[in-house]
């Protein structure tokens, strides 16, 4: 049975060559799968809905974003699921061209469109003695032979 820990989390994504810089401050549940493997589950309400808007009525519209990270010293997989419209899955491993898959769902929650990009992980750094405390991933994103940016993903898990 996995051990879980509820922790405050800061997740940021920035580009070193594009005007992208965003941070999410939230809480997460850290599941310890074994000594060096962890799952981190983050959730948040749909950011697209204004406070003054009427409440959505369908199950697809009320779905929450679920950000799930599978973390180990050798690789990280991050998936965004939920919200009914936009989902993605990134695979990072140092020195490897990983896959970044994106898909858009129609109003019924069915996959309407999908596309893939490659990412090249230059650096993956994981710190923490017993639980992950800091994760940094530096990577390039590619569409065919065209580079579409250099990115840094930082994750801090506060104890």
Tens of pLDDT, residue by residue over 96-137, are 999 999 988 877 777 778 899 999 999 999 999 888 999 999
- pLDDT over 60 (residue 139): yes
Confidence at residue 60, expressed as pLDDT on a 0 to 100 scale: 39
For the question of whether the overall pTM of this predicted structure is more than 0.75, the answer is yes
CA dihedral 112, 65, 10, 126 (to 10 degrees): -60
Tell me the domains of the chain and their CATH numbers: 3-44+61-157 (2.40.128.20)
List, as one string, the DSSP characters of 57-124. Answer: -SHHHH--EEEEEEE-SS-EEEEEE-SSSEEEEEEE-TTSEEEEEEEEE-TTS-EEEEEEEEEEEEEE
How would residue 84 be classed by pLDDT, with cut points 50, 70 and 90? Answer: low
In the chain, % of residues over pLDDT 70: 82
Residue 143's pLDDT is what? 95
């Amino acid at each position: 049975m996995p051990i879980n820990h509820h922790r405050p989390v800061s997740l940021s994504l920035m580009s070193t060559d594009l005007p992208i810089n965003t941070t999410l401050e939230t809480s997460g549940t850290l599941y310890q799968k074994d000594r060096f493997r962890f799952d981190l589950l983050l959730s948040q309400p749909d950011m697209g809905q204004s406070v003054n808007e009427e409440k959505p009525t369908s199950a697809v519209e009320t779905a929450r974003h679920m950000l799930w990270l599978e973390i180990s010293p050798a690789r990280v997989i991050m998936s965004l699921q939920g919200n009914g419209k936009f989902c993605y899955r990134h695979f990072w491993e140092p020195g490897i061209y990983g896959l970044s898959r994106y898909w858009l769902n129609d109003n019924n929650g069915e996959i309407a469109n999908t596309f893939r990009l490659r990412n090249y992980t230059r650096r993956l750094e994981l710190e923490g003695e017993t639980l992950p405390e800091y994760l940094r991933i530096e990577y390039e994103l590619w569409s065919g032979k065209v580079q579409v940016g250099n990115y840094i993903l930082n994750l801090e898990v506060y104890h």
